[in-house]
């Protein structure tokens, strides 16, 4: 089935998902979120794909949940539907790495979706924020939690209480984004990075992702123990043997993804 609000492409081992609702600055309506979940299911199931890039347009990664779509919903509507849960959280259950390539606005749910990805590469014109407070609500898809973990309480609290936006330079200083690149190099850079990851051993990449994510879910001691056990597990793989043998023999490893 085709897509109305997104575009997808597969370039060698990299899957590209582009949010494509330009008239609404990629506002995350129910249809878009459903399509995004479906596209991620497809990328996850495709053995040829090793990493995914999620991006928007030059003007907006996504300007948030669709305000017009949700403005008339009642408490019972949103509570009974568990609004902003189904589909939205699909990004966080994806086992393959997802890079958010963000240009322009990443606001509200847009910022939250970017933060659900594994890391964010920002164009110079990127702007991040949780402006929900200015429309009479609060972040609903992890903004108060993930932003606080990324940038600390003081900045997160100020942004959530005032709706102030953060530019790319501040976002990089604060640790929200991994790198800033010139606007016209955003996609080439994100694709190069994704291809690099996709060219490594799939199971080992998955273990690294799982281990870093564990840092957000547990204590330091438990996290280190989890990491140590996964590290031990890598020694049960053919790729660990191949990677270390290739290093000693000064050649490029041939990953079996086993």
- Catalytic residue IDs: 65, 109, 112, 132
Identify the DSSP state of 99.
E
Count Cα neighbours of 122 within 13 Å in the Cβ-side half-sphere: 26
Task: Answer yes or no whether residue 132 interacts with ligand CAA by CB under 6 A.
Answer: yes
Stretch that binds ligand CAA, among 20-28, 117-125, 148-156, 215-223 (CB under 6 A): 20-28
The b-or-e profile of 109-140 (16+ CB within 10 A means b, else e) is bbbbbbbbbbbbbbbebbbbbbbbeeeeeebb
Task: Answer yes or no whether residue 105 interacts with ligand CAA by CB under 6 A.
Answer: yes
Please list, in sequence order, all residues whose beta carbon lies within 8 angstroms of the beta carbon of residue 215, skipping any fewer than 6 positions away: 223
Task: Answer yes or no whether residue 107 interacts with ligand CAA by CB under 6 A.
Answer: yes
Task: State in angstroms the smallest separation of the CB of 74 from ligand CAA.
Answer: 16
Let me know: does 56 contact 19? Beta carbons within 8 Å.
yes
Between 88 and 255, name the residue whose CB sits nearer to ligand CAA: 88
Closest CA to 108 of 128, 125, 92: 128
Stretch that binds ligand CAA, among 11-19, 38-46, 127-135, 152-160 (CB under 6 A): 127-135
Between 37 and 64, name the residue whose CB sits nearer to ligand CAA: 64
Between 145 and 240, name the residue whose CB sits nearer to ligand CAA: 145
Which residues, numbered 136-175, are part of the site for ligand CAA (CB under 6 A)?
A: 139-141, 143
Helix, strand, coil tally for the chain in percent (to 5)? 50, 15, 35
Closest CA to 19 of 141, 107, 96: 107
Task: Answer yes or no whether residue 66 interacts with ligand CAA by CB under 6 A.
Answer: yes
**Residue numbers of the site for ligand CAA (CB under 6 A)?**
24-25, 27, 63-68, 84, 105, 107-109, 112, 131-132, 135, 139-141, 143
């Amino acid at each position: 089935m085709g897509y109305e609000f997104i575009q997808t492409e597969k370039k060698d081992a990299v899957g590209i998902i582009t949010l494509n609702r330009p008239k609404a600055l990629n506002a995350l309506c129910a249809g878009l979120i459903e399509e995004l979940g479906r596209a991620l299911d497809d990328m996850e199931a495709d053995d040829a794909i090793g990493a995914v890039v999620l991006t928007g347009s030059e003007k907006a990664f996504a300007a948030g949940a669709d305000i017009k779509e949700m403005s008339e919903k009642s408490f019972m509507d949103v509570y009974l539907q568990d609004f902003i849960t189904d589909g939205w959280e699909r990004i966080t259950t994806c086992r393959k790495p997802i890079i958010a390539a963000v240009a322009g606005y990443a606001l509200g749910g847009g910022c939250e979706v970017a933060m659900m990805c594994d890391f964010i590469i920002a164009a110079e014109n990127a702007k991040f924020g949780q402006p929900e407070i200015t429309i009479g609500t609060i972040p609903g898809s992890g903004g108060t939690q993930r932003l606080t973990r990324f940038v600390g309480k003081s900045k997160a609290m100020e942004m959530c209480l005032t709706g102030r936006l953060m530019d790319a330079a501040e976002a990089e200083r604060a640790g929200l984004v991994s790198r800033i690149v010139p606007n016209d190099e955003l996609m080439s850079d994100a694709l190069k990075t994704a291809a690099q990851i996709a060219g490594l051993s799939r199971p080992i990449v998955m273990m690294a992702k799982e281990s870093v994510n564990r840092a957000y879910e547990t204590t330091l001691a438990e996290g280190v123990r989890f990491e140590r056990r996964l590290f031990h597990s890598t020694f049960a793989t053919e790729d660990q043997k191949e990677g270390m043998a290739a290093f000693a023999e000064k050649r490029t490893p041939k990953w079996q993804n086993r």
